[in-house]
Amino acid sequence: MHNSSKVVGLPLSRIDGPLKVTGQAGYAAEYFAPDMLHGYVVGATIATGRIAEIDTAAAEAFPGVVKVYTYKNRPSAARRDSKWKDEVALPGHPLRPLDNDKILFDGQPVALVVADSFEAARDASALVRVTYAADEPHTDLALERGNSYVPPVPRMQAFMPPKPRGNAEAAFSQAPHQISADYVIEGEHHNPMELFATTAIRNEDGTYLIHDKSQGSQNSHDYICNIFSLDPEKVVVRNSYIGGAFGSGLRPKHQLFFAVMASLDLKRSVKVEMSRQEMFYLTWRPSSIQTVSLAADEKGHLQSVMHHALHATSRYEDYQENVANWSGLAYKCDNVTISYEIAKLDVSTPGDMRAPGAATGVTALETAMDELAYEVGIDPLELRVINFVHRDQNTDKELTSKALHACYREGAARFGWSERSHEPRSMRDGNELIGWGVATGIWEAQMSPAEAKLRLTSDGKVTVSAAASDIGTGTYTILGQLAAEAFDLKLADVTVKIGDSTLPKTTVEGGSWTAASSGTAVQVAAQMVIATLLKAAQKLDNSPLAKATEEQVEIAEGRLVLEANHQVGIAVSDIMSAAGLDMIEEHAKVEPDKAIQKKYSAYTHSAAFVEVRVDAELGQVRVTRVVNAVAAGRILNPKTARSQVMGGVVMGLGMALHEEGMVDHRTGRIMNHNIAEYHVPAHADIEEIDVIFIDEDDDKASPIGVKGLGEIGIVGIAAAVSNAIFHATGARIRSFPITIDKILAETSLESETLQ
Amino acid sequence: MDLSSQSHTAATCPVSLTINGERRSFDIHPWVSLLDLLRGPLELTGTKKGCDHGQCGACTVMINGERMNSCLKLAVSLDGAEITTIEGLGTPDNMHPMQKAFLEHDAYQCGYCTPGQICSAVALVKEGHAHERHEIREQMSGNLCRCGAYTNIADAIEEVMGAEKAAPVREAAE
């Protein structure tokens, strides 16, 4: 069935594209209501301690200000933690804005100013006077290594390290080739281009329409209803368009709470939009320190893998991600020990950021693999090939598919890897040292429970609906493609409704699971509609489809026909009019197949090849070429798929070279909380990126053969860059981002021209 | 149009702007940025706010034909100016060539930086300083895209630049 695609698998432009390129797509802050108020948040200026005094008089007196909220006058909200826990909450105590005088992190909201204009709220916020009793902050992970601990309540069992296998320590000490090092990755901030915002529109009857920047409209809906004991039927949350999120919108943010709180209290519509600065105080990729030790025999076969990961969490929640387990399954090795700990800092709770855990852990592993290749003295790609594994050794399960060999082969060919000379500093072009690096990428291919409705109308057109989200991933388009395929329609004849909490239940968009999950739900709903249509067709007199089964029919050119013989069939419009039907609508509910999950593990894989050019005198790094070969099952839309992987690569280059939340550990405050000083890749940083999709037939990862693409693009990129920098310069830099100062400190750059 | 906040007593200033070809007059507070005027009272939300500090370029519009960060311009300082926003370039049914090229090259994902990228790109082509791809990249670097659509954006701009260059040649040949 997958091979006969007419719409699925084509590089079609996004169906939401015309609205996006003309400025007509409405994001959360872009809705209006009569007499709407504006909220602006005041953040704490200490990292830990308490509010000694808070004076709101001047702010309240500012023209246009309606009310200033602090912990002293905040309207009541749920008391029990369980009411504050969203769909993807963490072990611990969720943050309750303005709940008390305690300060747990820099930037924590301490007041909300509500005024009749944005400007008045913003300007008055500067007049809120807060006096703090500050405690000594602890924000440096390196200094908290002694206070690390194994999370007592696992966020997910799968995040916990697998049991050790073999004897990694003994095998390490006996092996002829060993490497062992610490890898440090600084904290990163998602910084989607859209500011977090909520517009809470209060209708005259007290019902709500809430536009929220979120990766799950139903998650926001349930969260806000639980906190304020709202009738779920009277609240609708929409996230029609989302200006990027990368994980930052998985959990509801404080602007949602504030907009609804103020609106309920003041009985008016309220909009709260964060500032860019404010967005640095929530949901970040935690800083991490990892120790990786690898050992190999004379030929490079892995004898021992030891990976210990430590990352930051907050005082109030135990954020957890799967950092190190990848090292137990990436390569064949019989002696493996993995350990994982977190440490509390006076920071906001970290959160999932594109390929959470893998982007961090695989960076360390894949840099270590490069070190091992040079220790053994073989080509870094060859080392990966000879340690290839066909089974998930962590869980001792078969893999649904793994076309990683093809990724290595085709990626290397496209990149020209065979032209590489092994020795560091052996390739140069004028004043530039050239380096080529490679790394493997891995991410889980996940499917989550999902629902979708599909409606066929008598004009033959189709509407798909689900509370799924499109954070720029292409959800609108691929769900439309799947429906169009099932009904032999043009994409333009399908309407896709997503981003609304009233639509069929869907989990938050994350983990690369949306296409596999909601896509399967759409396909099953389509099959159900066709089955209903067939039943109606079979009730007709002398129906040519009287004996046909569901499996034998399909829609072609507006007719329900036998798959084997399109001559035999009935027009859809005739079936529906004979049955007196204006429309057929079916609601599908799907979930992963537990029998398959018991037997198989499912992962996406990639091979990333990177060329850097390092200025021989200045240490400046340019990434001039990237080839990322990805095996991710069936590709529904090569155009949007390529964009997703490219976006992952770009964020990976940011991790490698630019991105770093800088904390002044004396004050515990973030110093570079803006996007001029927190560097993300800009146009000038990005040169050639080549994405290759490897064919991978996989009917087990998900029923529609999809494995997901949101994360895999970033995994391995930072390691490939660091390996390329080593190849160019001979300097092994184990601290990310690899900024010029680190290169200058580690290399003997050519200074003769300066003498 | 009186856009002074209901309870503000501070003086407002009169200002006339031609926005997307339509001349409009306002009385506004002097501290209102062009961006906040567009996105707030005028409900022209195609222009985006990404930082409010001139760092990201999401708010790029054309003022008298030049690309500018509208968050860094006070509206009252622009009396008499002609403003073109993304809404003034084209509509879904009648797109500007740059909008079409962005659509075709998938030069966006979430779409939030896109109006700013497109306004910036249209002005860049008009400026005529960028000829090579590396020049496009350099001169578009004031517009950040966190989804990482940069290479597609450069492809879209190259296509439009190529078409503009080719057009007069074709005419001459005919």
Residue A666 to residue A137: CA distance in whole angstroms: 7
ipTM above threshold 0.90: yes
Residue A323 to residue A343: CA distance in whole angstroms: 14
Contacts of B113 in chain A (CB under 8 A): 193, 243
User: What does the block give as tokens for A509?
Assistant: 């968009």
Q: In this complex, which of A244, A276, A686 lies closest to B53 when CB atoms are compared? A: A276
Residue B38 to chain A, least CA–CA distance (Å):
11
Question: Where are chain A's structural domains?
Answer: 2-24+448-591, 37-136+192-275, 285-446+598-754
Q: B68 and B126: one domain?
A: no
Least confident of A3-12, A81-90, B149-158: A3-12
Tens digits of residue pLDDT in A43-63? 999 999 999 999 999 999 999
- State which H helix or E strand residue A359 sits in: helix A358-376
CB contact set of A634 (below 8 Å; sequence gap of 6+): A2, A9, A696, A697, A698, A704, A705, A706, A707
Q: B6 and B84: one domain?
A: yes
DSSP structure string for A231-300: -GGGEEEE-SS----TTTTSS--HHHHHHHHHHHHHTS-EEEE--TGGGGGS-EEPPEEEEEEEEE-TT-
Q: Which of A314, A333, A319 is nearest to A162 (CA)?
A: A333
Confidence at residue A6, expressed as pLDDT on a 0 to 100 scale:
86
Tens digits of residue pLDDT in A644-654? 999 999 999 99
Q: Residue A3: which pLDDT band, with cuts at 50, 70 and 90?
A: very low
| List A711, A746, A750, A752, catalytic entry | A711
Tell me the fold of A37-136+192-275. Answer: Aldehyde Oxidoreductase; domain 3 (3.90.1170)
Tens digits of residue pLDDT in A669-697? 999 999 999 999 999 999 999 999 999 99
Largest CA distance in chain A: 97
Q: B169 and B99: one domain?
A: yes
Average pLDDT, rounded, for chain A: 96
Q: Which of A90, A645, A651, A162 is nearest to A321 (CA)?
A: A90
Domain count, chain B: 2
Exposed/middle/buried for residue B22 (C-beta within 10 Å: 0-12, 13-18, 19+): exposed
Is residue A528 helix, strand or coil? Answer: helix
Tens digits of residue pLDDT in B33-67? 999 999 999 999 999 999 999 999 999 999 999 99
Q: B4 and B84: one domain?
A: yes
A79 touches chain B (CB under 8 A): no
User: What does the block give as tokens for B116?
Assistant: 């700013």
Q: B29 and B98: one domain?
A: no
Contact at 8 Å (CB) between A407 and A605? yes
User: What does the block give as tokens for A436?
Assistant: 């080529």
Q: Please indicate whether, in this complex, the C-beta atoms of A675 and B55 are within 8 angstroms of each other.
A: yes
User: In the annotation, is A550 catalytic?
Assistant: no
The CA distances from residue B90 to A26, B97, B165, in Å, are 16, 9, 21
CB atoms within 10 A of CB A486: 26
Residue A61 to chain B, least CA–CA distance (Å):
11
Q: B75 and B105: one domain?
A: no
In the predicted model, residues of chain B with pLDDT beneath 70 are: 1-9, 167-174
B91 touches chain A (CB under 8 A): yes
Q: How many residues does chain B have?
A: 174
Residue B128 DSSP class: T
Testing the interface with A: which of B147, B158, B160 to mutate, by most A Cβ within 10 A?
Answer: B147
Cis peptide, bond prior to residue A737, ω within 30 of zero: yes
Identity at B127, one-letter amino acid code: E
Q: B81 and B94: one domain?
A: no
Q: B1 and B85: one domain?
A: yes
Confidence at residue B78, expressed as pLDDT on a 0 to 100 scale:
98
B163 touches chain A (CB under 8 A): no
Q: B113 and B145: one domain?
A: yes
Please say which residue of B73, B89, B105 terminates a domain.
B89
Domain at B167, CATH number: 1.10.150.120
User: What does the block give as tokens for B13?
Assistant: 């200033």
Please tell me if the domain spanning A2-24+448-591 has the same topology as the one spanning A285-446+598-754.
Answer: yes
B114 touches chain A (CB under 8 A): yes
Chain A with chain B: Cβ pairs closer than 8 A: 203
Is residue A178 helix, strand or coil? Answer: strand
Q: Which of A251, A148, A143 is nearest to A190 (CA)?
A: A251
Identity at A670, one-letter amino acid code: I
Confidence at residue A751, expressed as pLDDT on a 0 to 100 scale:
55
Residue A105 to residue A350: CA distance in whole angstroms: 12
Tens digits of residue pLDDT in A478-498? 999 999 999 999 999 999 999
Q: Closest-CA residue in chain A for B4?
A: A117
Q: How many residues does chain A have?
A: 755
Please say which residue of B89, B123, B153 terminates a domain.
B89
Tens digits of residue pLDDT in A110-167? 999 999 999 999 999 999 999 999 999 999 999 999 999 999 999 999 999 999 999 9
Q: Residue A511: which pLDDT band, with cuts at 50, 70 and 90?
A: confident
- Domain with residues A285-446+598-754, CATH architecture: 2-Layer Sandwich (3.30)
The CATH class of the A2-24+448-591 domain is alpha beta
B27: domain range? 1-89
Q: In this complex, which of A13, A674, A688 lies closest to B53 when CB atoms are compared? A: A674
Q: B84 and B94: one domain?
A: no
Q: Is the pLDDT of residue A4 over 60?
A: no
Q: Residue A231: which pLDDT band, with cuts at 50, 70 and 90?
A: very high
Q: Which of A499, A665, A535, A491 is nearest to A106 (CA)?
A: A665
Identity at A417, one-letter amino acid code: W
User: What does the block give as tokens for A520?
Assistant: 């399967």
Residue B100 to chain A, least CA–CA distance (Å):
8
Identity at A671, one-letter amino acid code: M
B81 touches chain A (CB under 8 A): no
The string over A655-679, giving b where at least 16 C-beta atoms fall within 10 Å of a residue's C-beta and e elsewhere, is bbbbbbbebebeebbbebbbbeebb
Q: B85 and B101: one domain?
A: no
Q: B125 and B107: one domain?
A: yes
Please say which residue of B65, B89, B113 terminates a domain.
B89
